[in-house]
Amino acid sequence: MFRRLAAVTGLWLAFTAGSAAAQDTDRSGKLLLTGGVSSVEGAGGGGLAPWALITGYGSPGQVGANVHATVVDLPDYQFRSGGIALGLQDRLELSYARQTFDTGATGASLGLGQGFTFRQDVLGAKLRVLGDAVYDQDRWTPQVAIGAQWKSNNQPGVIAAIGGRDHEGVDYYVAATKILLDHSVLLNGTVRATRANQGGLLGFGGDRNDDYSLQFEGSAGVLLNKRLLVGAEYRTKPDNLGFAREDDWLDLFAAYAVNKNLSITAAYADLGDIATFEDQRGLYLSIQAGF
Amino acid sequence: MRSTFAFTLGALLVLASPAFAQPTPWAQPGETAIDPYAVDNANAGAEPLAEGAVFEAFGGVEGVSRIIDDLVDRSVIDPRLEEIFKPTDLVRLRRTLKEQVCFILGGPCAYTGRDMASSHKDLGVTTAEFNALVENLQGAMDAAGVPFRAQNRLLAKLAPMKGDVVER
Ligand code: HEM
């Protein structure tokens, strides 16, 4: 697993090595962790859910950018994600992530073949529309952002065979984030309209339900010091496919900002049943580099 | 006894130096005089904390004083901020900042400075610079051993001032 992680991260090392010399870390205009970390779909957030925070350390008048590599090692599968994200003026976020869902030995039992892999590209855009999670400490109103994720899966044939309706789809979401500095607490709630099965890795819409449904994603964390945020996330999901039950996702995470150029997130993720294989729980490890 | 002495000393000073008969907050000895303004604790820009525990965690008046001196020392040599602070009367800045933080933490201090909007008018402070100052404050509080949660109680009071301090 770590060898695979290293391979994916080689890309961003090359990317950041060039800019690191020219980039004075301290000129980055935001406080540690106030851009969140990289979620599995590439947006700035927690591990599983996008937050209203704009990724990176760019303040108004600045640009922030980062790359990430994530691995979730499950009993019967391995999920990987790598991507890049830009935060413009602490206002607009653009992201791209390539997700890989590796069925490994499980692929054979599913009749897909050993090492069968689903791949999905996710293009994301997020706009901060209201409030400020960090500075609005004198009122209860959160920072609110709206976003969309365009997803395209490379396995239309398999998706059709398991009852999925499309291999492409768009998720829309509204996220609200509040940092309660008084209590050193971060809260996020996201409502997502989606047709995605397992986030889109098993396509969009299905034989049981083909409509958009509203799903809720909640995150709560405590800042233990200015570098370390620990917390939990819960993400509800649709259950559109007849052949296998789809479960909600949850995790317990610790996000550590080494500095403004590097953060590491480790989590214990419970992704429930996936494509008839039960209790997919395992280690989530993500590394993010940028400015 | 002590207050009688202070009173007598004060009275003597008043008699001895009529020019400073009433040392005003805008014309303190050792500071550059500025235009008069209405003195009011409300100028501090935040309500004081009700309980004393946080002020204790900062080490009281002494602790706050040391932390603010450290904050100013860090900021005037900080490449991100040094330009802005070059023309500043640091004697006055240190005094008013100490008063302000002591007052906000619920300490036995009155704030005699100007409000945040007029203090920072036309300085052109950016969000990045605001955060740079917060980082220096975090550094000073860390150095003084102020626990993280107590630090955040103060930062929660200062954060909303961004609207008055930042102009671009
Ligand atoms: C919450 C954050 C801040 C607080 C509580 C604060 C507080 C103060 C206080 C109490 C004064 C003196 C007021 C007076 O003279 O009556 C002052 C002046 C000043 N502040 Fe701030 N300040 C903050 C942020 C900043 C930032 C981010 C900068 C620049 C990066 C800055 C630059 C200055 C300068 C240059 C002066 C002197 C202005 C003059 O000489 O007239 N301040 N500030």
Please tell me the least confidently modeled range out of A13-27, A227-241, B79-93, B119-133: A13-27
- Nearest of A79, A110, A23, A83 to residue A271 by alpha carbon: A79
- Per-residue pLDDT tens digits for A117-151: 999 999 999 999 999 999 999 999 999 999 999 99
In whole angstroms, give the CA distance from residue A102 to residue A104.
5
For residue A74, what are the contacts with CB-CB under 8 A and spacing of at least 6? Answer: A271, A274, A280, A281, A282
- Per-residue pLDDT tens digits for A93-110: 999 999 999 999 999 999
Smallest CA–CA distance, residue A224 to chain B, in Å, is 8
Q: Is the CB of B157 under 6 A from ligand 1?
A: no
Residue A29: which pLDDT band, with cuts at 50, 70 and 90? confident
For residue A252, what are the contacts with CB-CB under 8 A and spacing of at least 6? Answer: A230, A231, A232, A267, A268
ipTM of the complex: 0.86
Ligand 1 atom closest to B112 (CA): 16
Tell whether B25 is covered by a domain.
Answer: no
pLDDT higher than threshold 80 for residue B22 = no
What pLDDT score does B167 carry? Answer: 83
Tell whether B110 is covered by a domain.
Answer: yes
- Nearest of B125, B70, B77 to residue B101 by alpha carbon: B70
- Per-residue pLDDT tens digits for A227-246: 999 999 999 999 999 999 99
Tell whether B88 is covered by a domain.
Answer: yes
CB-count burial class (<10 Å; 0-12, 13-18, 19+) for B29: exposed
Total Cβ atoms within 10 A of residue A234: 16
For residue B120 the two structure tokens come to: 């920072």
Mean pLDDT of B144-167: 97
The answer to whether A213 touches A196, Cβ cutoff 8 Å, is no
Mean pLDDT of A70-93: 96
In whole angstroms, give the CA distance from residue A164 to residue B26.
74
Residue A18: which pLDDT band, with cuts at 50, 70 and 90? very low
Residue A9: which pLDDT band, with cuts at 50, 70 and 90? very low
Residue B9, SS3 per DSSP: helix
User: How does the average pLDDT of chain B come out, rounded?
Assistant: 89
In whole angstroms, give the CA distance from residue A127 to residue B24.
49
Among protein residues, the one whose CA lies closest to atom 18 of ligand 1: B119
Q: In this structure, which CATH number among 2.40.160.40, 3.20.20.60, 3.30.160.250, 1.10.260.40 belongs to the domain A2-290?
A: 2.40.160.40
The answer to whether B22 touches B63, Cβ cutoff 8 Å, is no
Domain boundary assignment for chain A: 2-290
Residues from chain A contacting residue B143 (CB–CB below 8 Å): none
The CATH number given to whatever domain includes residue B120 is 1.10.490.10
Tell whether B16 is covered by a domain.
Answer: no
Task: Name the residue range of residue B38's domain.
Answer: 34-165
- Per-residue pLDDT tens digits for A166-180: 999 999 999 999 999
Number of domains in chain B: 1
